[in-house]
Amino acid sequence: MFGSKDKSRRKLEEKIIQALGQPDWLESVTIGEDGRVVLVIKADPAQPEAAEARRIEAEGKVELISGVSSVSSVLTAERAASAPSKEVHLSHTPASKRVRKGARLSDDALQQGKVPSAAPKSSIPGISRILVVASAKGGVGKSTVSVNLAVAMAKAGMKVGLMDADIYGPSIPTMLGTVSSEPTTSQESGKLLPVEAAGLKTLSIGYLSDPDAPMIWRGPIVMSAITQMLNDAEWGTPEDPLDILIIDTPPGTGDAQLTIAQRIPVTAALIVTTPQEVALADVRRGAAMFAKTEVPVLGIVETMSWFEDPAGNRHYLMGQGGGSATANALGLPLLAELPMLQAVREGGDSGQPAALTDETAGQLFHELARKVAIELDGLATKPTPDIVFED
């Protein structure tokens, strides 16, 4: 599946599928570097005992296969056939009235509070598009970018959701000042109602786990929680969906990240990095993971790029130019180089995102949001829709 170990893992995957008798209930097999196997098993939620028996039997069979060091599994509800896509409206506008995708269209769309209609849509009712924010390493500013980007989009009038799937350190509740909030359940639908803050709807894996519990959250468990937050929460309705759900994912390119990229109908990803060369090698791995799972990467966001002293001199504390070099090497746009700003750090600590309260940060993240909208728009190239620029 990955790099030089491709062949042996593919062989092992085949063995596993064969040992299970190629069942249609096996949704996916993920094999970690050291032979750890995660099975995703489809099951009927109305028959929990049968589901559990299926899981135990499958794990027992896979455990016996040589090359497998451990096996775990996650049960997922069998999905109904996906609703017909309400995709882009293809118009019959004369060519002279069409506009090139990108450029002003997206800018205007962002101003109007909409992701461009041309951008591909997710298949989850109530959520138009899903953007995952990823980083190959921890502590690079991924959650800060997720929160402030979400706020900038909401300020522009979009309906934005922010889901914190960072198992290793769910920090969104701190950054939004919602640590003591708890999602409630709708009496009508029985679904989880996201917490509302800073103009966003938000849910965090932190709400579903005990913060003092040992960090046992790993691929399969996190996937169940993420699936629950995605499918069993009232983000929007099919008639009035979220324009975009931003997911802050756990750092790294391991099983948990791979499972997210494979299992969730992600529209696109954004990769956050610092200018450090050591982080950039990891960014390349992250981009490769998304390429393998066919999730388009919109671009790179470099953050903590420099610190500006009161005299206006820039200090490149973490190196310089690395983000643009990686973006060039990967053929991806560098969507932002965000400086270190005290207001951004303080905003994260105080639960008042800087994009909401600080003018400089507000402008920087508005610009990033605009570029993200342009790139989302640019995804809709196949088949090319005719986009009408409203006069």
Ligand X SMILES: Nc1ncnc2c1ncn2[C@@H]1O[C@H](COP(=O)(O)OP(=O)(O)OP(=O)(O)O)[C@@H](O)[C@H]1O
Residues near ligand X, by CB under 6 A: 135, 138-144, 166, 169, 171, 251, 303-304, 338, 340-341, 344-345, 348
Tokens in use for 34? 């050291």
142 is in an annotated binding site: yes
Nearer to ligand X, 170 or 183 (CB): 170
* Torsion over CA: 206, 209, 215, 220 (sign): negative
Instruction: Calculate helix-pair angle for 6-19, 48-63, nearest 10 degrees.
Output: 130
Tokens of 121: 């849509």
In the complex, the smallest distance separating the C-beta of residue 267 from ligand X, rounded to whole angstroms, is 21
d(CA 143, CA 162): 10
Helix (H) or strand (E) holding 143: helix 142-155
135 belongs to an annotated ligand binding site: no
Per the CB < 8 A criterion, the answer to whether 158 and 114 are in contact is yes
Tell me whether strands 307-308 and 314-315 are parallel, antiparallel or unpaired. antiparallel
Residue placing its CB nearer to ligand X in the complex, 39 or 258: 258
220 or 251: whose CB is closer to ligand X? 251
Is 143 annotated to bind a ligand? Reply is yes
3 state SS of 39: strand
- Annotation-wise, does 138 bind a ligand? yes
Shortest distance in whole angstroms from residue 354 CB to ligand X: 8
Report, in Å, the least distance between residue 193 CB and ligand X. 25
Taking the complex as a whole, the smallest distance from the CB of residue 166 to ligand X amounts, in Å, to 5
Residue nearest to ligand X (CB): 138
CA distance 199 to 182: 17
Q: Is 141 annotated as a binding residue?
A: yes
**For ligand X, which is the closer residue by CB, 120 or 286?**
286
Structure tokens, 239: 């008639």
The residue (of 304 and 373) whose beta carbon lies closer to ligand X is: 304
Please state the three-class secondary structure of 225-262 as a single string.
Answer: HHHHHHHCECCCCCCCCECEEEEECCCCCCHHHHHHHH
- Nearer Cβ to ligand X, position 110 or 167? 167
Residue 139 annotated as binding? yes
What is the spatial distance between Cα 313 and Cα 336, in angstroms, rounded to a whole number? 19
Residue with token string 């450029």: 103
Q: Any known ligand binding at 331? A: no
Which residue carries 């997710």 as its tokens? 122
| 96 marked ligand binding residue | no
Residues in the annotated binding site: 136-143
